[in-house]
Amino acid sequence: MANAAGTKNVQQVDVAVVGAGFAGLYLLHRLRKAGFSAVALEAADDVGGTWYWNRYPGARCDIETPDYSYTFDPELETAWKWSEKYATQPEILRYLGFVADRYDLRRDIRFGTPVAEAKWDEDAKRWHLTTGNGAPVSCRYYIMASGCLSSPKPPEIDGVGDFKGEVYFTGRWPHEEVDLAGKRVAVIGTGSSGIQAIPLIAAAAAHLTVFQRTPNFALPAHNGPAPAERVATLEKDRAAYREQARWSMAGVPLPPATAFSWQLNDAERRERFEAGWAAGDLVVILTQLWADQGVDVDGNALVADLIREKIRATVKDPETAAALSPHDHPFGAKRPCLDTGYYATYNRPNVTLVNLRQEPITSITATGIVTDKRRFDVDVIVFATGFDAMTGAIMAVHPITGRCGKSLSDVWAGGPQTYLGLTVAGFPNLFAITGPGSPSVLSNMVVSIEQHIDWVVDRLTQMRNAGFTAIEATDAAQAAWSRHLADCSTITLHRLANTWYTGANVPGKAQGVMPYTGGVGPYRSICDEVVSRGLLGFRLTGPGVAEQCNDGEIVRLQPDVRIVLNTLAGLNLPPLESFGAQGARGFLAQFNATRPPGRPVGEVVDGMLPGADPGSMGPLPYRLYRPATPGPHPIVVYFHGGGWVLGDEQSDEPFCRDMCRRTGMIFVSVGYRHAPEQRFPAAAEDAYAALRWVADHAADLGGRPDAVCVAGWSAGGNLAAVTCQLARDRGGPKIAGQLLVCPVTDCTFDRPSYVENADGYFLTRSLMYWFWDLYCAPADRTDPRVSPLRGKLAGLPPAFVVTCEFDPLRDEGIAYAEAMAGAGVPVEQLQARGHFHSSFTMVDVVITGVGGRVQMARALRRFAGLSDEAAAQLGERAAQRPVQAAAGAAD
């Protein structure tokens, strides 16, 4: 061992790495190339990591092998040829051995050397590692490349130790051959490991009894030679293929599906599903059927139904088929499996399925397994019971003590806290590769591993060049990352299932979605942004250099808002106002043509109504959205947004459809005259005239005259607010309630939100100036018909006011809500964190807006006297389900 003065028998290195799997090997290679001395400490006696330990029959990867490979060296890519679409465990292990030899990595790996303890020495700014074998290690940086699924979970079953037969764990399968011939075998667990192993165990054993607690979705792998089409695409332009994977959502170069389930009929959906099923590719079936399959319970249920149909078609015994059919989680929320003959295995005469939901295991005895109904004598028990995932291999394996004696186990007792999934505040110079809070297990692991390692090694190099010796995440950056993770988790359905992703599989473990659900590409861009913003959220120190700390939150926007705004920024569009009014209308029409059209409602009817001045302008158009439930329904008169200049009765169609479905109320989106052709107060007077007309004709429209509400977004919110004041002052009609979404309420432009959000959030300050100039002469601006904040506020209908954090109009909306409340009007507010002006109207694009719309719908129902119970009877499943989790996105 390299000895330094006074540190006898201590191995001194720049970097110590735990693990010699995919991550550990690449780390060693990168560190060496960057000129760092490094050692990898590996408990096993060879390389391979997860592929070293998981040798159970049938173990294979389930990302197609052309994608499940290192990409850092084009020569390596061509030097290795995979033999199958999904390589077996032995082949993957050979590949990792090949990589270790090719880059001469073994010389820096200490095999058979688990780390027993890790302690940060604040004075020396180094980590001290005690090992289970050989010299301790002193290192500047300590990097956990220990995998997400490497710490097997003990089976929590009474009497496990009493069994006298053979016991195997899929995650610790013996190296020598296991002979199951003629034996009665039990398998406990039906996750990916169990599902891969069961068909082969069934073929080898005399009898197999599978003990299933929760059925899982499994899809046929259709394994075979490496897929010619994918290999051809890869070989045609390797660099482009890899780059696309790096910026994709899952780390596999497939563009997301764009068609929504409700845009496809049954036959079209079935056709897509059958193609996905035939592809034998998890990423295809998880992402390519329709755009809402992974984010919406209804879109997801359509896939789940089709898979259950396949199970019934394969498994001959209907009771067994029913037991194998998952109903407790959305498809994809729990890790689905790729199988080879899994369901058909239950047609074999030597296979029995025991449904533990009907007869739980009570104990394991010397001779077998006992449920509360029966006993099963067996010769072999295979535990396919999974792992203490994501955190297990970091904190449950050895004590890690950071700055001021802080223990990682204590810090993470309530769930893992990280910055970027890479670092932990209080634990300087400690990194986790694919740690909790990074995309890791929700991605192609190899792509994520390479991204993490490149980022970390580049930072170590950057620090060395600048003379820094310690790096640590700040508390504020870490807390903000946790908030961002929670925001991300509202987009997908992972939060709706009890899984190892959420810690639910380990009794007593803190619960919460652990991996980053925002996608590989967005995550990469965030990591890059941390660097471009001067290592935002990190404190760097070193001898003789000034401390550097750019504290702050890397993502304050909701994750999907960030993507929308980045996409818009990438388009580099000229300001909307530079098009002129006609040009801007044309642009908006084009923009709207590309958006998702909105979900079906009972009926959509176009009609005309007289405006305030039918003589000069003729009637105004309206579009009515009727729920699919029996009427009469309460009515909402809706005013579209567009700065009094743009838009029409169809331009907020997705929002109106969505709200019609969620409220069970008729929405009538009314047209009104626009500036600059018709200036103030034309729009306000038309809005009031439309309200009168709708109220007078409520019964003819199929609505309830006693329950008419108004709603509007942006300038439409302004018109809704103004209409309430006019109706109060001009003798009606009675308005049951007002929903104001990001309303314009005043002509003052110096509130903080106008300054903070002047630029960069689509609705800019200069665009607002332009709208005002076109609509209203300066002398008229304080008129309450355009600045309702300046009007009398007592006696207005109850209000629900929505404002968005990154909107110039935020503060005037809040001011209006507060002023109304001060005047005795019942007011509720939703101040939507991380949202921008268009968040709630970009239905199906800004998924995190759903929680806000659920709250808006509830408010409207309350205004109209509809109970929540009545809402539930409407069957608005989509409105109900995401509430609990999504509400946080909009609080």
Other C-beta atoms closer than 10 Å to the C-beta of 184 total: 18
Give 608-611's long-range contacts (Cβ < 8 A, gap of 24+): 609/670, 609/689, 609/690, 609/693, 609/694, 609/697, 610/689, 610/693, 611/671, 611/672, 611/673, 611/685, 611/686, 611/689, 611/690
Among 149, 612, 767, 786, which residue interacts with ligand N01 (rule: CB under 6 A)?
149
Q: Is 294 in the site for ligand N01 (CB under 6 A)?
A: no
Q: Which stretch binds ligand N01 (CB under 6 A): 56-64, 252-260, 801-809, 878-886?
A: 56-64
| CB of 355 or CB of 541, closer to ligand N01 | 355
Binding mask 609-648 for ligand N01 (x = CB under 6 A): ----------------------------------------
Least distance to ligand N01, CB of residue 286, Å: 13
> Are 147 and 158 within 8 A, CB to CB?
no
21 lies in the site for ligand N01, by CB under 6 A: no
Among 819, 687, 685, 812, which Cα is nearest to 754's? 812
Segment interacting with ligand N01, rule: CB under 6 A, options 152-160, 307-315, 569-577, 623-631: 152-160
**How wide is the angle at C-alpha 764 spanned by C-alphas 763 and 769, nearest 5°?**
110
The reply to whether 192 sits near ligand N01 by the rule CB under 6 A is: yes
390 interacts with ligand N01 by CB under 6 A: no
Residue 656 CA to residue 671 CA, distance in Å, equals 14
User: Using alpha carbons only, what angle is made at residue 273 by residues 849 and 848, rounded to the nearest 5 degrees?
Assistant: 5
Q: Which DSSP string do the residues of 242-282 spell out, in sequence order? A: HHHHHTSSSSS--PPP-S-GGGS-HHHHHHHHHHHHHHT-H
Residues shown for the chain: 891
Cβ–Cβ < 8 Å for 129, 16? yes
Q: Which is nearer to ligand N01, 217 or 771 (CB)?
A: 217
- Minimum distance, C-beta of residue 493 to ligand N01, in the bound complex (Å): 16
Q: How far is the CB of 376 from ligand N01 (least distance, A)?
A: 13
Which residue number, 61 or 201, has a Cβ lying nearer to ligand N01? 61
* Residue type for position 880: Q
Which CB, 385 or 474, lies closer to ligand N01? 385
- List 188, 601, 843, 871, residue binding ligand N01 (CB under 6 A): 188
Q: Which is nearer to ligand N01, 136 or 155 (CB)?
A: 155
CB atoms within 10 A of CB 300: 24
Does residue 151 bind ligand N01 (CB under 6 A)?
Answer: no
In angstroms, the first-to-last Cα distance of the chain is: 56
Measured at CB, which residue is nearest to ligand N01?
191
In Å, how far from its chain's centre is CA 813?
30
We find the least distance from the C-beta atom of residue 369 to ligand N01, in angstroms, to be 10
| Contact between 157 and ligand N01 per CB under 6 A | yes
CB 486 within 8 A of CB 833: no
Select from 726, 871, 737 the least CA-distant residue to 801. Answer: 737
- Tell me which of 11, 65, 146, 196 binds ligand N01, using CB under 6 A: 196
d(CA 870, CA 299) in angstroms, rounded, equals: 24
Among 65, 190, 293, 841, binds ligand N01 (CB under 6 A): 190
> Which residues does 294 contact at the CB level (< 8 Å), separation at least 6?
286, 287, 300, 332, 492, 493
* Under rule CB under 6 A, residue 194 binds ligand N01: yes
Question: Judged by CB under 6 A, does residue 158 bind ligand N01?
Answer: no
846 φ, ψ to 5°? Answer: -95, 85
Which residue from 97, 114, 155, 596 is in contact with ligand N01, where contact means CB under 6 A? 155
Q: Which is nearer to ligand N01, 150 or 723 (CB)?
A: 150
Question: Interacting stretch for ligand N01, rule CB under 6 A, among 380-388, 473-481, 487-495, 615-623?
Answer: 380-388
Distance, in Å, from the CA atom of 673 to the CA atom of 679, rounded to the nearest integer, reads 8
Rounded to whole angstroms, how far apart are CA atoms 501 and 436? 9
List the interface residues with ligand N01, window 307-336 (CB under 6 A): 335
Binding to ligand N01 by CB under 6 A, coded x per residue (else -) over 421-450, reads --------------------x---------
- For 87, half-sphere exposure in the C-beta direction (CA atoms, 13 angstrom radius) is 18
* Number of other CB atoms surrounding residue 613 within 10 Å: 15
Strand 620-626 relative to strand 666-670, pairing: antiparallel
3-state secondary structure 850-870: HHHHHHHHHHHHHHCCCCHHH
Q: Which range of residues in 57-65, 137-145, 347-355, 450-458 is near ligand N01 by CB under 6 A?
A: 57-65
Among residue numbers 341 through 360, which ones bind ligand N01 (CB under 6 A)? 356
Q: Which is nearer to ligand N01, 60 or 673 (CB)?
A: 60
Candidate residues 385, 444, 469, 478; the one interacting with ligand N01 per rule CB under 6 A: 385
CA neighbor of 273 nearest in space, from 294, 292, 288: 288
Rg (CA), the chain: 31
Q: Which stretch binds ligand N01 (CB under 6 A): 384-392, 459-467, 562-570, 798-806?
A: 384-392
Cβ contacts of residue 818 below 8 Å, gap of 6+? Answer: 827
Strand ranges, E, within 395-490: 400-401, 430-432, 470-473
Q: How far is the CB of 160 from ligand N01 (least distance, A)?
A: 9
CA-wise closest residue to 120 among 561, 425, 338: 425
Could you tell me the smallest distance in angstroms from the CB atom of residue 340 to ligand N01? 11
500 binds ligand N01 (CB under 6 A): yes
Q: Which stretch binds ligand N01 (CB under 6 A): 186-194, 249-257, 567-575, 760-768?
A: 186-194
Span near ligand N01 by CB under 6 A; candidates 103-111, 148-156, 517-525, 709-717: 148-156
Q: List the structure tokens of 196.
A: 């891969």
Q: Which residues of 383-395 are buried (b: 16+ CB within 10 A; e: fewer)?
A: bbbbbbbbbbbbb
Neighbour-count burial of 868, counting CB atoms closer than 10 A to its CB (0-12 exposed, 13-18 middle, 19+ buried): exposed
Choices 155-163, 248-256, 688-696, 787-795; region in contact with ligand N01 by CB under 6 A: 155-163
Among 62, 577, 658, 686, binds ligand N01 (CB under 6 A): 62
Q: Is 169 in the site for ligand N01 (CB under 6 A)?
A: no
Site residue total, ligand N01 (CB under 6 A) = 27
Our finding on whether 193 is near ligand N01 (CB under 6 A) is: yes
**Contact status: 156 vs ligand N01 (CB under 6 A):** yes
Question: Cβ 381 to ligand N01, closest distance in Å?
Answer: 11
Could you say which of 213, 403, 595, 790 contacts ligand N01 (CB under 6 A)?
Answer: 213
CB of 338 to ligand N01, least distance (A): 6
Q: Which is nearer to ligand N01, 188 or 463 (CB)?
A: 188
By the rule CB under 6 A, 384 interacts with ligand N01? yes
Distance from CA of residue 614 to its chain's centroid?
50
Q: How far is the CB of 342 from ligand N01 (least distance, A)?
A: 12
Min dist. Cβ of residue 426 to ligand N01 (A): 30
- Indicate the residue among 423 and 517 with the shorter CB distance to ligand N01: 517
Given the rule CB under 6 A, which residues bind ligand N01? 60-62, 149, 155-157, 170, 188-194, 196, 213-214, 335, 356, 384-387, 441, 500, 505
